[in-house]
Amino acid sequence: MEKDALHLPELFGSNVFNEETMKERLSAASYKAWKKSTTDGTPLELSTANEIAQAMKQWAMEKGATHFTHWFQPMTDVTAEKHDSFISPVGGGKIDMEFSGKELIKGEPDASSFPSGGLRATFEARGYTAWDPTSFAFVKDNSLYIPTVFMSYSGQALDKKTPLLRSMETVSKQSIRILRLFGDTETKKVTAQCGPEQEYFLVDKKLYEHREDLRLTGRTLFGNKPPRGQELEDHYFGQIKPRVAAFMEDLDNELWKLGVPSKTKHNEVAPSQHEMAPVFSDANTACDANQLAMDMMKKVADRHGFVCLLHEKPYDGVNGSGKHDNWSLGTDTGKNLLKPGNTPSQNAQFLLFLAAFVKGVDEYQETLRCTVASAGNDHRLGAQEAPPAIISIFLGDELDGIVRSIIDGTPYKDGTRKKLRIGIDVLPSISQDTTDRNRTSPMAFTGNKFEFRMLGSSQSISGPNIALNTIMAQELGEFADELEKSSDFDNDLEMLIKKTFKEHERIIFNGNGYDESWVKEANKRGLANLISTADAMPHYADAKAVKLYTENGVYTEEELNARANIHAETYDARISIEARTMLDIARREIMPAVSAYAGDLAVRMANLKAAGCVTAYETDTSKEVAVLTDTMMKDTEKLGEDMEKVPCDPWDAMKYYHDIILPDMGSIRKSADSLEGLVDKKYWPFPVYSELLFSE
């Protein structure tokens, strides 16, 4: 172990064709050309690409790679890859190992089976992938992985990376306009940075295999809360059990080799629930790294006899899993634009960025809500455990006090009781204290970043980051338009900040987001409360969103509509699979098991009666079992019939699944779970919650 720790710096990124390796293995000219292409997007000459490809191939083969793949992020939450070997026959039954610059830069996977939301007509089914030189290639499973974007031949983005890169560019551009107004002439690039905390469950593989619901849908469709849940509050940050610790160690090693800076690991609130957090990086790399982390979690779990569940709600009645997207803006000169500074001018700049964020989140609540809406996440948001479905911003006491004093023009209530003059006074210090963090807030300021806490554990972090970047770009752009014209900058700046906080004060909420009274209060404030995906999704490509994304060059209207359609179709597909799995389990597993038990119970009852014994238990249980089975059967029939009537249009279907099918499923589950509580456990056809959750 000690030896491993000493070698960690060498291990880290050892399977990544990173900057250091490129410097080592490329000619100075090619290295420079690559570097330039990452900073200003200059396309590489074919000769340079050829040289890079050569070097990459050589390096990858030394790492055992026989294949290469363009690795991309279609409009699903998972990544796609298609592997080609380096072999190229040279006659005489011999081969060479080849990999050209062209193959590095561009690939043409048969793209017709990826969701396109109608973007790609079938006659031009082929899309192409193109190397993203800002994200490093790496070796995994004997293949060289090349991170790429995925486009249609007409140039429409068919993936999650392209719009993310576009949004990063636009937020950089608008941030720089603001920085110039504050006299910053040095910053050339502003980077959206993010650190996603990833939650997950582990379950024993042998038990998992007996649960058709887990296997087919990622969550349990049946099951009573175990007698012991999270009430002892002993799991969160609790001691990690040896088998889990071994998994985590293995995971860390795999991630480190791939250059994913896994930093923190701990037990989460629910039994069998854990978290991994990396060190933050630019949003593009963070997004790639999170996809890799999710893949790796599943793979490494398998080696340890576990299955890693990334579903947002594997178990009813037990905390679900989310992802906290920590987000900030950093300059290429090393400054964090969401960090309060030490001088009056830095603080004025900070307050302007803060004002832009507050305004943006208020104006585009629905858009942000849509980026975290999914069938899985519906079990968390608005269900009294994760942040509510209502978007609001938590600023913390100190910053809230400052904002309030700006709005009211009253003295800031710190020791000095001074009135804060923007651009003249230094802000009172704002601590990064972890203790007063409001865990119920969907969007919390945590000292030098915002933490967007509504993300589902299985989703790509790309969508939420695209939205945050674009919204911020929009607001900063509006501010820049106004301030660039100003003849009295300090005064106009102060007025603008004050006006913005005043107009968007309603989005700031520091109280308990789980409290019922917040729903009423939010309603009074006119905040959106889009409880489910079916409620939220119609806003995905509404007029406001179209304007936002098209004007900032992030999505075209067609691209946005395509994504909205895919979300609707994915929601429908998920609920449909769940409903059909439920029918299957109810009909082929639960009801037959219950019937067998009832039959045996009847025989036992008759025997006992014949022997002149009391049969209260047998009689009462039989009756209860019979009533519940009867109800369950009727509910199962109803679900079966309702499933025959699902509308064809995906948007109508979404409403139908939400309004009709989900309640049907709820009814079946109710009887089944009651039966689970009555039936002799020898008869129950699959492992129950107490086994699944305490199996580690």
Which residue sits closest to ligand ADP, CB atoms considered?
A: 195
Query: Which residues ranging from 358 to 387 are in contact with ligand ADP (CB under 6 A)?
Result: none
Residue closer to ligand ADP by CB (options 325, 589) is: 325
Q: How far is the CB of 434 from ligand ADP (least distance, A)?
A: 5
Q: How far is the CB of 197 from Mg ion (least distance, A)?
A: 5
Q: In whole angstroms, give the CA distance from residue 101 to residue 596.
A: 66
Both tokens of residue 418? 């001074």
Nearest one of 570, 583, 593 to 664, comparing CA atoms: 583
Residue closer to ligand ADP by CB (options 196, 687) is: 196
> CA dist 247 to 251, 525, 559, Å?
6, 47, 40
Residue closer to Mg ion by CB (options 197, 378) is: 197
Structural contact between residues 658 and 573, judged by C-beta atoms closer than 8 angstroms:
no
Q: How far is the CB of 263 from Mg ion (least distance, A)?
A: 12
Residue closer to ligand ADP by CB (options 278, 463) is: 278
Stretch that binds ligand ADP, among 194-202, 551-559, 605-613, 618-626 (CB under 6 A): 194-202
Residue closer to Mg ion by CB (options 235, 324) is: 324
* String marking each residue 405-434 x if it binds ligand ADP according to CB under 6 A: -----------------------------x
95 binds, among Mg ion, ligand ADP, none (CB under 5 to 8 A by kind): none
In sequence order, the β-bridge partners of residue 138 are 16, 145
278 binds, among Mg ion, ligand ADP, none (CB under 5 to 8 A by kind): ligand ADP
Residue closer to ligand ADP by CB (options 42, 342) is: 342
Written as one letter, the residue type at 655 is K
Count of CB atoms within 10 A of residue 181's CB? 17
- Binding ligand ADP by CB under 6 A: which of 323, 359, 449, 539? 449
- Binding ligand ADP by CB under 6 A: which of 14, 21, 448, 556? 448
Residue closer to ligand ADP by CB (options 328, 347) is: 328
Q: How far is the CB of 556 from ligand ADP (least distance, A)?
A: 29
Count of CB atoms within 10 A of residue 335's CB? 18
> Does residue 194 belong to the site contacting ligand ADP (CB under 6 A)?
yes
195 binds, among Mg ion, ligand ADP, none (CB under 5 to 8 A by kind): ligand ADP
> CA dist 656 to 110, 465, 577, 664, Å?
34, 30, 15, 11
DSSP H or E stretch at residue 267:
strand 262-267
Nearest one of 322, 325, 300 to 310, comparing CA atoms: 322
Q: Is the dihedral of CA 452, 453, 454, 455 positive or negative?
A: positive
* String marking each residue 307-336 x if it binds Mg ion according to CB under 5 A: -----------------x------------
Residue closer to Mg ion by CB (options 324, 380) is: 324
Residue closer to ligand ADP by CB (options 163, 195) is: 195
**Kind of pairing, strands 262-267 and 322-331?**
unpaired
448 binds, among Mg ion, ligand ADP, none (CB under 5 to 8 A by kind): ligand ADP
Residue closer to ligand ADP by CB (options 159, 275) is: 275
Count of CB atoms within 10 A of residue 7's CB? 11
Structural contact between residues 73 and 92, judged by C-beta atoms closer than 8 angstroms:
no
290 binds, among ligand ADP, Mg ion, none (CB under 5 to 8 A by kind): none
Stretch that binds ligand ADP, among 127-135, 324-332, 350-358, 517-525 (CB under 6 A): 324-332
> CA dist 497 to 127, 320, 358, 466, Å?
46, 38, 11, 25
193 binds, among ligand ADP, Mg ion, none (CB under 5 to 8 A by kind): ligand ADP
Helices (H), 2-135: 2-6, 8-11, 19-25, 28-40, 46-62, 101-105
Which residue sits closest to Mg ion, CB atoms considered?
A: 324
Give residues with Cβ within 8 angstroms of 522, minimum separation 6. Answer: 390, 392, 509, 529
- Binding ligand ADP by CB under 6 A: which of 101, 133, 195, 650? 195
Structural contact between residues 386 and 320, judged by C-beta atoms closer than 8 angstroms:
yes
Q: How far is the CB of 324 from Mg ion (least distance, A)?
A: 4
Both tokens of residue 559? 């691209």
> CA dist 480 to 114, 180, 363, 477, Å?
40, 10, 18, 5
Q: Which parts of this chain interact with Mg ion (CB under 5 A)?
A: 197, 324
Q: Which parts of this chain interact with ligand ADP (CB under 6 A)?
A: 193-195, 197, 277-280, 326-328, 336, 434, 448-449
